[in-house]
Amino acid sequence: MSVFRRSGGYFDVAVIEKKIAELERQLNQEGIWQDQEYANKLNNELITLRKETADYHELAEKITESLEIIELLKLESDDEIKEHIALSLQAITSDLEALELKTLLDGEYDQANCYLEIHPGAGGTEACDWANMLLRMYTMYFDKHDMKYTIIDKLLGEEAGIKSVLIHVVHPYAYGYLKGEIGVHRLVRISPFDANARRHTSFAAVNVIPEFSEVKDIVIRDEDLRVDVYRSSGNGGQGVNTTDSAVRITHIPTGIVVTCQNERSQIKNKEIALNVLKSKLYQRELNERNRQISNLKGSAAIDFGSQIRNYVLEPYSLVKDLRTNYETNAPDKVLDGDLDGFIEAYLRKKN
């Protein structure tokens, strides 16, 4: 069993192991580590592929062992062994579903790290608070799945919540798992900011772009940039607010604005902001080439009339994805980062 195919996904162990051998050959070449960024990229890909094949072979071994035990049970019944095999089959089913889901992550940029942005819609404090709830939801999801993330920039709301946030997510298949979150998220609840306890509807837009490893086609001229520095308002230690370390870069031809205030160093913040800008410009170029809504940006445009998911806390409890019809009546769990069902449903629907 060297090929696993189901629900549109494809997992060819022989091809992957051939790729592993090629990566090992490249990493053993003399002088490869002189370019540490390139070598690290190859090494990270090698680690990911080794983990995938290890998971596959471990699952295949479990299946073989279980089949052998089942054959023994045909000859001699044993209740204790039956109970053991039942538990083993449950674990195999779970592992198989996880592997099957990974076969659906076959998009061109699915293996990439990504940047996730959240912006509140109209509605002032209500919308800003909803954007902050989404920020909490995603960071809890990252923590549950051991995804490393860094908040590059966060702008606080005037009374509560956030006006915007930009997060860098570093994890194999980060973009593949999160691309289905692109779009407008709608919240219905009794407002904690309304003295009359009335029901309010709030919107927030989520965008996810891959961190492109190569953006050689993107040329950014110095004269096309406006760089502003200012005093950081974010976390980062005692000295973070005492120097003009935060950087805002405006790409004048397109109007794209990127800010970074995560690092104490102005130079480091500028470097990070330029990397984000390059990825945004590259995505923009891809979208223009397609002349349609790019596959990278999902099936929903980032505007406030096209919500992809409703979160209803009052008068009933329901979270429903309007693209897949996947729903749950446990919004508290969803807002605590339990997004697996929605992500899996989107990937299966897309394939």
Residue 216 banded pLDDT, cuts 50, 70, 90: low
Entry field: residues in the chain:
351
Q: What is the mean pLDDT of residues 241-267?
A: 84
Task: Find out whether 326 and 341 touch, Cβ atoms under 8 Å.
Answer: yes
Beta-carbon contacts of residue 171 (< 8 Å; ≥ 6 apart): 113, 142, 145, 146, 147, 148
Which pLDDT band, with edges at 50, 70 and 90, does 300 fall under? very low
More confident residue, 131 or 217: 131
pLDDT band at 242 (very low <50, low <70, confident <90, very high): low
Residues in a beta bridge with 150: 168
Give residue 206's pLDDT: 95
Q: Is the pLDDT of residue 290 over 80?
A: no
Contact 277, 166 (CB under 8 A): no
Q: 291: pLDDT confidence band, cut at 50, 70 and 90?
A: low
| pLDDT value, residue 3 | 42
Question: How many Cα atoms are found within 13 Å in the side-chain-facing hemisphere of 318?
Answer: 10
**Phi, psi of 216, deg, nearest 5:** -65, -25
Tokens of 318: 């329901």
Is residue 21 within 8 Å of 14, Cβ to Cβ? Answer: no
* Chain Cα centroid distance, residue 302: 17
Q: Give the pLDDT of residue 9.
A: 42
For the stretch 27-37, pLDDT in tens is: 999 888 888 87
- Asked if pLDDT for residue 302 goes beyond 50, the answer is no
Helix (H, G, I), strand (E, B) or coil at 158: coil
Q: Is the pLDDT of residue 199 over 70?
A: yes
Q: Which two tokens stand for residue 180?
A: 């289905």
- Quote the mean pLDDT of the chain: 84
> What DSSP string runs through 285-330?
HHHHHHTS--GGGTTS-SSTT-EEEEEE-SSS-EEEETTT--EES-
What does DSSP assign to residue 254? T
Q: Are 137 and 339 in contact (CB under 8 A)?
A: yes
Q: Are 192 and 202 in contact (CB under 8 A)?
A: no
Reference 211, options 259, 145, 166, 264; nearest CA is 166
Give me the mean pLDDT over the 63-69 stretch.
87
On the question of pLDDT at 14 being above 60, the answer is yes
Q: Output Rg (C-alpha) for the chain, integer angstroms.
A: 23
**Structure confidence by residue, pLDDT tens digits, 49-58:** 888 788 888 8
Is the separation of the CB atoms in 251 and 225 below 8 Å?
A: yes
Q: Is the pTM of this model over 0.85?
A: no
Q: Average the pLDDT over each of 147-161, 215-229, 334-348 and give the range with the smallest value.
A: 215-229
More confident residue, 326 or 172: 326
Identify the top-confidence range among 1-10, 254-263, 307-316: 307-316
Domains defined along the chain, listed by start: 3-103 (1.20.58.410), 114-209+297-350 (3.30.70.1660), 222-290 (3.30.160.20)
Q: Give the Cα separation of 236 and 342 in Å (integer).
A: 34
Please state at what angle helix 36-75 crosses helix 79-103, rounded to 10 degrees.
Answer: 150
Tell me 226's DSSP state.
Answer: E
- Least reliable range by pLDDT among 94-103, 108-117, 222-231, 341-350: 94-103
Distance CA 161, CA 133 (A): 8
